[in-house]
Structure 1
Amino acid sequence: MKFSKWQGCGNDFVIVDFLDHEPVDFAVLAREMCDRHFGVGADGLMAACPSETADVRMREFNPDGTEPEMCGNGIRCFSRWLYEEGYVTKEEFTVETLAGTMVPRVIVQDGTVSAVAVDMGVPVLEGERIPVAGFGTERVVAQPITVAGKEYAMTCVSMGNPHCVIFVDDAEGFPLEQLGAQFEHHAAFPNRINTEFVEVRDRRHARMRVWERGAGITLACGTGTCATLTAGVLNDVLDREAAIEVDGGVIHVAWREDGHIVMTGPAERVFTGDWPGVR
C-alpha cells in the first residue's frame, strides 16, 4: 500500500488513499503505522475515503487507534496532499470530517502551495456540548479546576474536538510531561480532552504547548491554536487575530466577524513509501 508522510509545524501524519479501496481496520493500521520504533512513525493516520456530502472524506486515527473528530494540522496536510495528487483541482474545496464539513483553501504562489487556510467553522462554547461536566449550556470561561492538588483557571472550547485552555506565566517551563495526562483524564471531561498551556506574549502573539488526547505531547495542534485564540478573546487577553507559536512553528488564526475561525499554516511532504500487508 502506498503512503505519504506529511508534517505541519512538526505535527506529523501518514496519509493513505482509500478512495477506491475497501476500508480496513484503521484503528489497527494506525497503531502499527504510527509506531515510531516499529512503524513509519507519526502523530496520526489519515485515510482519504469517498464522501456523499463533500469532495472527499477524511478519517483520522490517533497512535492509540482512537478516532478523533478533527485535526487542524492534519487537515492542512491532507488538503495539500489532495491538491498535489490531483484528487481535487480546485484551490478551495470541501472535506467531510466527524466534526462536520471543513473548507480548506490552498494558497498558491508562483505555482507552488505556500500554505493552507482552513475555515474551521464556529467554536462551540456551551459546556454540555464540549463536553465539560456540570456546566449545562453555560460557557466555561476562567473556571476553576484542580489537578495534582493545584487550582488552575480553565477555558474550554470545542472545535469539533474538545479543548481545555490554561493560561500560564511560563509555557516553556510548565511540567507538561507530568500533568498533561492528568488534565486529559480529569473527571470534568467525559470524553477526555486536549489541553493547551498558553503564555500570552502580547495581544497578537501567544506561545502554546499542547497535550493531545490519545497522542500525548505533540509539536503542534491546529485545532488547539483555534481554541487558544478563542479562549484568549473570551478572556480579553488576545485580539481576534493572532500568531500562535507552537513547538514546531507558527500558525495564524483569525476569528472572523461571522463567527468562523480561519487557521492558516504550513503543510509539507516528508516522504512517500510502501507499507506491506495492505493492497
Structure 2
Amino acid sequence: MHGLGNDFVVLDARETPLPAVTASVVRALGDRRTGIGFDQLILLEPSQTHDFRVRFFNSDGSEAGACGNGSRAVALLHGAPAVVETGGGPIALEALDGGARVDMGKPRFDWDAIPLAYAMDTFAMPVGWESLEGPMAVNVGNPHAVFFVDDAGAVPLEELGPIIEHEALFPERVNVNVASLAGADNLRLRVWERGAGLTRACGTGACATAVAAIRRGLVTSPVRVTLPGGDLVIAWEPGGTILMSGPAAESFRGTFRWEDYS
C-alpha cells in the first residue's frame, strides 16, 4: 500500500499469528533489490484494549511510534472506523473515498516528551546546522524537528538530514522537516525520516509542520501541506487533537516464504 508514494508492506496478524518480526527480517524484506521493498513495514496485531494494535517498522529495522501515511493505509484496509493502539498512543481511523481521516492525538512540546537530551525551549530551539536554524520540536507519536525556510526545495536535505537525525541532542533520533510558505494556508514540505531517509510523503511530518506553523502564526487551520508525493490537509486548534486527511491506495497483494528472509 502507499500514501502519496510513501510505501508500505502490511502484514495482518490479527487472526493468524506470524513468526517474530525482528529487525533483521524487516531489513531483508525492505531491501528494494533483494526483498519486497518499502519505506515502512506495518504489522497488525490483536489488542486487549483497542480494536487492534498497529506497529510501524522503518526499513532499517527500527520501530517507530507512529506513521501518518501508514495509518491512512490501515484505515483503508480495515474499511470501518476504529480506535487502534500504537506505540505513540491510541489513534482513531476512518476510511474515506480513496483515502482516510486519522485523529493523530494531541501534539507534545515539552523537551522531555520529544525527547531531547537536555532541557531547551522547543518553540525556537537555539541550535542550527548550516542554513537550518531555530527549529521547533514537536512529538506527534514520534519526534520531529521543523525548520521554516524561504525555499524548502533548495535545502540539501539528503546531506543535512542524516546529520541532524543522529545528533546527540535527539536520543531517539529525529525526523527532519523543512517547510516554506506556498500560500495563505499552504505549506510546501520535504522530510528526512529517521530510519527511512528522504520519502515522497510523511504524514506525521505534515502534522508536526502544520502544528508548528499554526503555533508560530504563519498559517491558520486547516492547512494544506504539499509534499513531493501530493497534498494532505491538517486541522488543529491549540489544545486539541490533530486531524489528518488524505489519500491512500492498495498497490498489490502477494505472498512470500518467511524462511527466505529470516
Amino acid at match of 2:256: W
Structure 1 portions without partners, runs of 5+: 1-5, 84-90, 108-112
Amino acid at match of 1:51: S
Aligned position for 2:78:
82
Deviates more, 1:249-258 or 1:11-20: 249-258
Aligned position for 1:3:
none
Q: Percent identity?
A: 39
> Which of 143, 156, 160 in structure 2 is aligned with 1:175?
156
Report if the CA contact (8 A) 1:142-1:235 is conserved.
no
Aligned position for 1:219:
200
Q: Indicate yes or no: 2:226 matched with 1:230.
A: no
1:153 Cα deviation after fit: 1.3
Q: Structure 1 length as normaliser, TM-score?
A: 0.89
Q: Indicate yes or no: 2:112 matched with 1:128.
A: yes
- Helix, strand or coil: the match of 1:57? strand
Residues 234, 63 of structure 1: alpha-carbon distance in 2 compared, 3 angstrom cutoff: same
Written as runs of structure 1 = structure 2, the 5 A alignment for 1:107-256 is 107=96, 113-135=97-119, 139-147=121-129, 149-150=130-131, 152-256=133-237
- Helix, strand or coil: the match of 1:31? helix
Aligned position for 1:88:
none
Amino acid at match of 1:7: H
Residues 202, 142 of structure 1: alpha-carbon distance in 2 compared, 3 angstrom cutoff: farther
Residues 216, 239 of structure 1: alpha-carbon distance in 2 compared, 3 angstrom cutoff: same
Q: Structure 2 length as normaliser, TM-score?
A: 0.94
1:258 Cα deviation after fit: 5.4
Report if the CA contact (8 A) 1:26-1:61 is conserved.
no
Structure 2 portions without partners, runs of 5+: none
Which of the two has greater strand per residue? 1
Distance 1:173 1:156 in 2: 22
Q: Indicate yes or no: 2:249 matched with 1:268.
A: yes
Aligned position for 1:101:
90
Distance 1:183 1:21 in 2: 38
Aligned position for 1:7:
2
Report if the CA contact (8 A) 2:144-2:175 is conserved.
yes
1:251 Cα deviation after fit: 0.5
Residues 127, 54 of structure 1: alpha-carbon distance in 2 compared, 3 angstrom cutoff: same
Report if the CA contact (8 A) 2:175-2:193 is conserved.
yes
Report if the CA contact (8 A) 1:13-1:45 is conserved.
yes
Q: Indicate yes or no: 2:32 matched with 1:36.
A: yes
Distance 1:243 1:156 in 2: 20
Amino acid at match of 1:9: L
Q: Once superposed, which parts of structure 1, at least 4 consecutive aligned residues long, lie more than 3 Å away?
A: none
1:252 Cα deviation after fit: 0.4
1:203 Cα deviation after fit: 3.0
Residues matched between the structures, number: 259
1:151 Cα deviation after fit: 5.7
RMSD: 1.6
1:68 Cα deviation after fit: 0.6
Report if the CA contact (8 A) 2:75-2:81 is conserved.
no
- Helix, strand or coil: the match of 1:265? strand
1:41 Cα deviation after fit: 1.0
